[in-house]
Every structure is written in structure tokens, then in C-alpha cells.
Structure 1
Amino acid sequence: MRIAFLMAPEGVEQVELTDPWSALADAGHEPVLVSTKPGHVQAFHHLDKADTFPVDAVVGQAEAESFDGLVLPGGVANPDFLRMDEKAVSFIHAFFRQGRPVAAICHAPWTLVEADVVRGRVLTSWPSLRTDITNAGGTWVDEQVRLDQGPNKLITSRKPDDLKAFDEAILAEFPGPDS
């Protein structure tokens, strides 16, 4: 199954990209790096530059229909850049309209708030997003990983320390490669 990883050209927390990517690839999925611009994505280790990763597809040219699920890695800057990009927000919203599974970690739920898809949902995130999620009509919980079934599966997690549980939830809830 093809899984989109959406991120801005810079600001993604590297481990929140590479860890779920490896888990899905090892399970036989096809992860695809989707960004708002072609070229490469500059990842970070918190506030320090880390590695770069090649962009496979550009939002606006890539259609949500061609993917079986969406992963939104965090980092403080990454989701803030994405929520200011109308095409990125529309791409995220399309997964919810189509009932496809979405996973978001750390600060990535900011993009869910911007896409107006948290109303009536229960999710977790980095603690500083609590007020934003609540104001957008969601219920914020302080849990390692949270699965909200809703009209589509929404998997959220708080931080890099929760990646093992996040990866396990993604693998359990995203369609298997043979589905």
C-alpha cells in the first residue's frame, strides 16, 4: 500500500519521519515523501539541521486518492509551514473526506486543526497544542498514542519518545500491503 508522508521543505523532526517510514517500509508498504516544493526536505534534530531527503511528489500534483493512508511527522516548524499552504491543507482534508487513515505525531496535529478535521475527535499531541485542539472542537488527552475511530482512523502521538507505540498503532490500523 502507498502511504503519503506530507512535510514542508524544512522543519520536520527527522526521527518522526524516518522511524514510521522504516516501520511501514519493513512491513511491505510503499512510503512516498510528499512536499510543497520539489527537491529535498531538510530534516532537523530538534533545532539543529540533520539530513535531507528527496521529495517523491509535490502536493497539488499528488492526489490523495492515489494513497492508502497519510502520515504527518512533526517538528515545530514543519506543521506551521504546512498549515499556511492551502494545497497542503486541502491534501490533508481529502484523506478525511475519503475515510482514509491518518497518523500525526507531536506538533503535526496543528495541520489537522487548520484542515478543520478535529471537531468531535479525541487526540493527543505535543502538550502546547492542547488549547488549539480544544478550541477547534477536539478533545485533547495526554496519552502515548491515541486511536480515534471516527469516520476514518486517526492515530496521534505526543513526541519522539512515543514512536514505538505510534509505529505499532500505524501498522495495526493502516491497510496491510495485501489488503
Structure 2
Amino acid sequence: MKKHLQFAAVVMSMVLVTGCGFHLRSSPSLPDDVNTVVIESARAHAPLARALNKRLNVYGLNRVDVSDSASSSQNINIYLLPEKLERQLLSVYPSGQVAEYELIYVVRYRVQFPGKEAVLAQFEVVRDYQDDPDQVLAKSRELDLMLSEMRDEAADIMIRRLSSQATAAPALSTNQP
């Protein structure tokens, strides 16, 4: 009897999950002949470029250096524009000191797929940050960790967006006037 109840519970949960439209996400689908990425940045040694390099292997993509990119026209070219970190005040202590910020990490980049025009994209990663003036050292380390996590999340977002940007980019015109 217990097995029947467990089976019924599993079947009911599957029916509920599929009924609401939920489906598992697959890995990003890129054109089959494209699996290498060239990353360029407006700033040398940009932290976002390093985060993006770390995440490429997770998604099964290979990184190619800019100097080697001329050897293949089948690369995805990502050019990172300068990133921006904004702080917005959320709350203050009764003494007037800032208690909480909203950190907004703005990422802008241009991506170009083989045979297509470049697409400019932008998005934001937002976090709340509580500031404690009594623990300045700990809070500065926490802020550094939070920024690192925001960059990692931004890198994941960029890679996941590649499949939609591949279909959105218009093909380069071969007819020259």
C-alpha cells in the first residue's frame, strides 16, 4: 500500500509540474560549427574577461587568443565594453550613516557571430549590500567577494544569451553596391 501511495505522489507531482509549463533547461544551443570564442576587452586584464574565461569550459566552449583569431573565421567574437558599478542608497542609520546600498553592475558588450553583423547587448546584475561602519575590514572583503560573484553571474548570463543572440544577429550582406 505504501508503494502505491509513493507512486501516486510521484505521478501527481509530475502532472503538476508539466501542467504549469515547466521544462528542464538544456545547454546553450549554438551553431554546430561554432564552439570557439575570442574575448577582447576595452581594459587589459578586465575582471569580467577573466570570469568569462573561467566559465567557458563549463559550457563546452573553447577560448582562442586574439592573435590566433585570424586563423579561423568560425569564432564568436565578444568585445567587452567598460563595465560600470553603481551604488544606490537604500537606507541609513539614525546617525545618518549609510546602512544599505543597492549595487548595480552594468555589463555592456558586443558579440559577433561568423557571417553575421555585431549585436550590442547590455544587462544588469543587482545585489543589496549592508554596510556596517563598525566592521570596515570585514565589509570591504565582503564587497570584494560580492563583486566577484556578480562578475561570475554576468559571465554565465553572457554565455547563456549567446544562443538567442546567434539567431537575432542579421546576416552580413554579400551584395556590395
The normalised TM-score by structure 1 is 0.32
* Larger Cα-atom Rg: 2
The normalised TM-score by structure 2 is 0.33
Name the structure where helix makes up a greater proportion of residues.
2
